[in-house]
Amino acid sequence: MKLLIVEDSALMRRVLRENFADQDDLEIEFARDGEDALDKLAQFEPDVITLDINMPKMDGLTCLAHIMEIRPCPVIMLSSLTERGAMATFEALELGAVDFVAKPDGTVSVDMSSVMDELKRKIRMATQTRARTRRSMRAGAKPRVSKASAAPAQRTRFPNCAASELLLIGSSTGGPGAVQTILEDIPADFPLPILISQHMPPKFTAAFSHRLNEACAVDVVELSETCPLQPGTVYLAAGGRDVVVRRKLKRLVAETVPSDPKYVWHPSVSRMVDSALDHVEARKLIGVMLTGMGDDGSEEMARIHKEGGATIAESEETAAVFGMPGQLIEKGGATCVLPVQKIAGELLRWTENTIPARRRQCS
């Protein structure tokens, strides 16, 4: 596999070279800045690129835009763990980056050991993704359809969601764009609260929730404390922590809690859905599983489906990584399988006769 590392700091290039020394199957080329990266793009023909954001001559976002124009390939952004770094990262995901890794100590991180396992894993996973922008996905670019994604797409039933109380969404790699695509088509009077676990580090979810709130009709908030769940509001689990559902004084609430090491990914989709099932009948839950590697939440969402609730798995044709939705389908847990741009419409059809939670609690 050919890996192009774009990093302006000589010290960081040396640190990364040392950390990749044990990866015998990687052919690595370094670029000093964005202009150097574009020069090497054609001659080296990388399979994956890691791209720093803050660079002289040509910054990472400008370089990324040129890469997607000249020779699209999977790009992983190396971001600083700051609010400014988070905002730039979401711009990069909008432009077509498939994922990001946050440097632990800012723009120049001598100690990369804490994130190297994550970076190596995401580099190898990136070869399975398709480089594309969210805008092209929404514009209806014709994607490939595999037998794996097409076979389960036939609906076996139209679920009865009139009594639904809560919509749960889980996503990981490629998820920010998918989540925004769905929420942009959800109206402000949506009858259910929406709870989202998106795998993301601390500080990034605040920027993501702000970005979503600006773009969507529904209110979007980062869940940073115990909060009653209101219809027409989206609650994004805080990065690096988990979210659980409780019932207090007959009302559903969401609590942010320290991450539990028994779960691999955080915020954990499995823990979110499992806690919801403890306090809400499965038939009153709707689950949506979006792009991401691994199987976080697949078993629990399959339980929603098997116990009378409704679930949607994002289809392989739009998923950046088909791991999480693919696992839900394999477990027989998907009511239907849809490309991401059709999920909101299906949710609106399912819930058009649903009594809003606020009115239900007052009756």
Could you identify the residue written with the tokens 């998923």?
A: 319
Per-residue pLDDT averaged across 189-212, rounded?
A: 94
Question: Per-residue confidence at 360, pLDDT binned at 50, 70, 90?
Answer: low
Q: Is the pLDDT of residue 216 over 90?
A: yes
Active site residue 296: yes
- What is the average pLDDT score of the chain? 87
Point out the catalytic residue in the list 52, 99, 149, 199.
199
The residues facing 28 across adjacent strands are: 3
Point out the catalytic residue in the list 171, 172, 209, 268.
172
First to last CA, the chain: 61
Q: Is the pLDDT of residue 136 over 70?
A: no
Active site residue 224: no
Question: pTM for this one?
Answer: 0.85
Q: What is the pLDDT of residue 202?
A: 84
| Burial profile 269-292: b = 16 or more Cβ within 10 angstroms, e = fewer | bbbbbbbbbeebebbbbbbbbbbb
Could you identify the residue written with the tokens 């390939």?
A: 73
Q: Is the pLDDT of residue 131 over 60?
A: no
Q: What is the pLDDT of residues 254-283, one digit of tens each?
A: 999 999 999 989 999 999 999 999 999 999
Per-residue pLDDT averaged across 53-81, rounded?
A: 91
- DSSP characters for 220-272? EEEE-S-EE--TTEEEEEPTTEEEEEEEETTEEEEEEEEPPTTSSSSS-HHHH
Q: Is the pLDDT of residue 156 over 50?
A: no
Distance CA 161, CA 144 (A): 31
Active site residue 47: no
* 214 contacts: CB under 8 Å, gap ≥ 6: none
Q: Which is more confidently placed, 202 or 112?
A: 202
Q: Domains for the chain: give ranges and CATH numbers.
A: 2-132 (3.40.50.2300), 147-362 (3.40.50.180)
Point out the catalytic residue in the list 242, 296, 298, 305.
296
Q: What is the pLDDT of residue 105?
A: 63
- Of the chain, the percentage scoring pLDDT greater than 90 comes to 66
Question: Per-residue confidence at 154, pLDDT binned at 50, 70, 90?
Answer: very low
Q: What is the pLDDT of residue 111?
A: 61
Question: Per-residue confidence at 106, pLDDT binned at 50, 70, 90?
Answer: low
How, if at all, do strands 27-31 and 2-6 pair?
parallel
- DSSP characters for 39-97? HHHHHH--SEEEEESS-SSS-HHHHHHHHHHHS---EEEEEESSHHHHHHHHHHHHHT-
Spatial contact of 314 and 291, defined as CB atoms under 8 Å apart: yes
